[in-house]
Amino acid sequence: TCSLLRSPKGFPKLKNDTFLRAARGEETEHTPVWCMRQAGRYLPEFRETRASQDFFATCRSPKLCCELTLQPLRRFPLDAAIIFSDILVVPQALGMEIVMVPGKGPTFPEPLKEVEDLLKLRQKVDVTAELGYVFQAITLTRHTLEGKVPLIGFSGAPWTLMSYMIEGGGSTTMAKAKSWLYRHPEASHQLLRLLADVITDYLVGQVAAGAQALQLFESHAGHLGPELFQDFALPYIRDIAQAVKSKLKEEALPLVPMIIFAKDAHYALRDLAHAGYEVVGLDWTIRPQEARAQVGKDVTLQGNLDPCALYAPKEKIGELVKKMLESFGTQRYIANLGHGLYPDMNPEHVGAFVEAVHAHSRHINKH
């Protein structure tokens, strides 16, 4: 169980490093697999743990984050854990208020409307003061995992966070946020730079706390076309990788593998492959062979089963996984979904997905 905070030192020895080896491009006996949103509402034990708690109060409780992170690992032989948290803790650290509205999702009562609103944001963020609860959750979880699998830390990327902060929640068009890019390019860059700086410190802090890999989520990349992505997303994605790595070196922290997941940005795959990340995550809208041709051989790919494939019968899930592994190849590859698990999914089907990856990749490797 998740109790008693220990220091970040003296972590248990890692028993299964398949995920880290694949991320670094080393040979693996089987293809590692984990799922985005693997700690989530599709598990009855998750709903039970979270039942009485406000969502962001849960995020601020290291003990609950630890418990929720470990729940899927008790059920499935996943090759990695990802810390239970949310990308919107970064806007909170900048001083914005966010409430979780049932049936609607995260909502900002006072989104950024005018350029002047940028002055309301904290210009200097002490990540330990504002986000220390995430660092505590990571340290606690890393100990409680007892070296079973590596622990992934994460953050939202600047454009994705900016879009939430201006839209005030989810949006199908992102028209308010995109209008800033066209009407207020300087102010947009100012906000994106502020976010990139906070994200860099936040990710470095996660490694100091015990994260063994990092994923950057550019979940709203699909709302940008190639030009806007080139101007307002890619430069910050690149800067974050570079800045995180140089700070890790400076602070004598481990250089952990980094994953970039830019959903629906297949127009930018070549650029993402050269953005300084060891792993490029893929959504389900691109053919594996095409992705491999674009990113080349020096980057590991992660993804990209359509999450809805998990609604199929278990035998069908096995067939789809086999096809996916044959297309990607079993090496320099981490199996995952092309996006997160949905709340109404059957846990047994998630188990079937994980087991199929292990069984088929072992079989392919043997033959």
The token pair that represents 58 in the structure block: 């849960």
Confirm whether 51 is domain-assigned: yes
What CATH code is carried by the domain that includes residue 194? 3.20.20.210
Residue 366 lies in a domain: no
Number of domains in the chain: 1
pLDDT of residue 51: 86
Residue 222 lies in a domain: yes
- Supply the pLDDT for residue 102: 86
Do the domain assignments include residue 26? no
Specify if 56 maps to a domain: yes
332, 323, 339: which is closest to 301 by C-alpha?
Answer: 332
Catalytic annotation present for 164 = yes
Q: What is the pTM of this model?
A: 0.98
Distance of CA 235 to the CA centre of its chain: 19
- Calculate mean pLDDT across residues 273-299: 97
The residue range of the domain holding 90 is: 34-281
Q: How far is CA 236 from CA 141, 196, 199, 230, in A?
A: 29, 6, 10, 10
Confidence check: pLDDT of 7 > 80: no
In this predicted structure, the answer to whether residue 328 has a pLDDT above a threshold of 90 is yes
In a domain, 63, yes or no: yes
Which residues is 215 bridged to in the sheet? 154, 259
Is 80 exceeded by the pLDDT of residue 2? no
Is residue 311 annotated as part of the catalytic site, yes or no? no
Q: What are phi and psi of 53, to 5 degrees?
A: -105, 140
Among 131, 137, 140, smallest CA distance to 89 is for 131
Query: Is 1 a residue whose pLDDT tops 80?
Result: no
Q: 163: exposed, middle or buried (C-beta count within 10 Å: 0-12, 13-18, 19+)?
A: buried
264 is catalytic: no
Q: Which amino acid is at 110?
A: E
Residue type, 331: Q
**In this predicted model, what pLDDT tens digit does every residue of 197-247 receive, in sequence order?**
999 999 999 999 999 999 999 999 999 999 999 999 999 999 999 999 999
Which one from 21, 60, 142, 164 is the annotated catalytic residue?
A: 164
pLDDT of residue 142: 97
pLDDT score, position 364: 98
Between CA 329 and CA 257 the distance in angstroms is 20
CA nearest neighbour of 181 among 104, 236, 246, 142? 236
Confidence of residue 132 (pLDDT cuts 50, 70, 90): very high
What single DSSP character describes residue 82?
E
pLDDT at 6 over 70: no
Active-site position among 37, 142, 292, 332: 37
Q: Can you name the residues that pair with 253 across neighbouring β-strands? A: none
Catalytic residue among 24, 75, 86, 117: 86
pLDDT of residue 52: 81
Contact 59, 332 (CB under 8 A): no
In a domain, 1, yes or no: no
The reply to whether 159 falls in a domain is yes
Catalytic residue among 50, 142, 238, 332: 50
CA distances to 111, 212, 218, 260, 262 from 167, rounded to whole Å, are 7, 33, 16, 23, 19
Torsion of CA 14, 16, 21, 27, to 10 degrees: 140
Six-digit token pair at 220?
């709203």
